């Protein structure tokens, strides 16, 4: 369109997004927790809450079985039952 004519239908501007990338460093987080834990003057309630979190995390880590092992055992049990049924029917 000619530049001297008025613009009745303005072109839309492109959308702009403000995205702040996040990076999580587990080792840095753990070190900050340790520094905070052994810092002098920490109140007892805070130490107790941190201990609860540590205990809960240790229970969550230790209680899970590997998924592959459980499914392999289940498959073997089903296979043995199927073979026993076939032997009983055909025998």
pLDDT truncated to tens, each residue of the chain (91 aa)?
556 666 777 788 888 888 877 888 889 989 998 888 777 666 777 788 888 888 888 877 665 656 666 678 888 899 999 999 999 999 7
Q: How would you classify residue 19: left for phi > 0, otherwise alpha for psi between -120 and 50, otherwise beta? A: beta
**Angle value at C-alpha 61, between 58 and 62, nearest 5 degrees:** 85
Q: Which residue range forms the structural domain that includes residue 45?
A: 35-90
In a domain, 13, yes or no: no
Structural domains in the chain (count): 1
Residue 29 lies in a domain: no
The pLDDT, as a whole number, for residue 6 is 67
pLDDT at 85: 94
Per-residue pLDDT, 80? 94
Cα–Cα distance between 87 and 36 in angstroms, integer? 65
Reported pTM: 0.28
Contact yes or no for 42/36 (Cβ under 8 A): yes
The rounded distance, in Å, linking the Cα atoms of 76 and 79 is 5
Residue 79 lies in a domain: yes
């Amino acid at each position: 369109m000619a530049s001297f004519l008025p613009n009745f239908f303005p072109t839309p501007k492109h959308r702009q997004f403000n995205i702040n990338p996040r990076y999580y460093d587990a080792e840095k987080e753990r070190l900050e927790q340790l520094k905070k834990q052994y810092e002098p003057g920490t109140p007892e309630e805070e130490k107790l809450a941190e201990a609860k979190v540590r205990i809960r995390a240790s229970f969550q880590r230790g209680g899970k079985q590997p998924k592959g092992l459980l499914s392999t055992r289940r498959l073997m049990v089903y296979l043995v039952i199927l073979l026993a049924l076939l032997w009983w029917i055909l025998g």
